[in-house]
Structure 1
Amino acid sequence: MPLSPAKAATVAGVSRSVVSKALASGQLVGVKRNNGHWSITEKDLTDWMEHIISRADSTPAAPEPHPKRSDLAELETLREELKAATAAGQEAREGLASAEARLEALGEIIVNLKADRDAWQAQAKTLASRPGGLFARIFGR
């Protein structure tokens, strides 16, 4: 005996809209009569219900509702490690900034030393170009 969508929904334990959507999508086989009403055989309804049940069984299991104590302890340990790593990173950044400041100061010292070296070299060349000997310096020869 053919069933209406409302009766099929009652038999299947679902709402009428679920049956109507299944008919429209072609998941549930039914015949549309001349008056525009659907007619569903009991065999087609049973096949559709088995398909829905097997699809529902293949869904993954729900995750655990609450984490275990060991997971919470591990999470707390990871948080502490993250805090320690963050502090170490901050300390390393401060050390790097200090090293960069010392490097800049040493660069300035090197520039000053090179200028002094160049001045001494110029003075040495000037002295080397003067006439040599005691008499030459005394008498200007």
Structure 2
Amino acid sequence: MKGTNTIVIQTTDSANVALKEIARSMVLAGYSVKSLDNDLGYMVIEHNIVGGGITTNNTAFVFKAVASPAVAGTLLTLTGDAEIVYNNVNRMTEHMFWAKSNLTWGKQCFTVAEEIAKGYQGAQIGYKTIKR
């Protein structure tokens, strides 16, 4: 799984139901739905973590879910980024990815996305690596 940066959720639900289900799970976990377009099958979810270290002023995990038709139901592709602001000036973005260590923002972002995905009742979870 090393380097995996995308979580794929396969469900028998329709695209609209799948997006609503993942949005509901994210909201229950404290995240905000930033935008949702059922016609395009696309959603952006954001969560701010204020503080986080001596020099870190603000960190946000931003997730994107894209629904596409599958043979029986829907595939939800979940990606994410950790957006870190240092000293209220310097901004850095790290894409989510799987790694052995939890010491990176990208791994922490991946772990949150994976926990949410695993909470989708009746869905199958898969992983893949895409160029970003």
Q: Do the two structures share a fold, i.e. TM-score over 0.5?
A: no
Q: Larger % of strand: which? A: 2
The higher radius of gyration belongs to 1
TM-score, L = length of structure 1: 0.23
